[in-house]
Structure 1
Amino acid sequence: MTTTDPTWRARAGCRDEDPELFFPNEADDATRARAKAICATCPVAFQCLADANARRERHGIWGGFERTDKGRAQRPVGRPPNGGHRIRSGAQ
């Protein structure tokens, strides 16, 4: 199964939810939090986010992330955000 294989959707935590929940108004923090809480317990959140990225989805909450969050989500787990370069303190 690839990350863009649609069969993962049958296991999605949001499958019985109103899709509008995942496209909240910008100022609707309560709806945004509710959608992300559903994603937080979803067994296929990673596949959801990967699928949205593959489709270049520009709106909505996918895999618990919004468009502004995706940069952090795409970074491989365990890899430092500075690209793997160590930052040295002090002069050497």
Structure 2
Amino acid sequence: MFILELSYTATLDRIDVELADHIAWVRSHIESGTFLVAGRKVPREGGFILAVGDDRAEIEALVATDPFLLAGLAEYRVSEFIATTTAPALDGFRQQLPA
């Protein structure tokens, strides 16, 4: 599982110009099942996405297609973790530690 941390590198005026495209990008990956949760940071300086996947390179390649990143308005930090403990609603995403 991955935590994708998005940090704006541009003003909110410039972010707002690309916001609809970014939201459409996020929603498409929510619908595909790759993203589980997404939302803004408070204060509004970026956002977080919880993503599922087995291959860090694939997730990083996916992140590279974000309209915010393509427009040079943000940067990402990708953190991988093993979800060994989950709420009941997320039991299907529980992972085992490697042997």
Q: What's the TM-score bracket when you normalise by the shorter of the two chains?
A: 0.3 to 0.5
Higher RCO (C-alpha 8 Å, min separation 6)? 2
Normalised TM-score (structure 1): 0.32
**More strand per residue: 1 or 2?**
2
Higher gyration radius (CA): 1
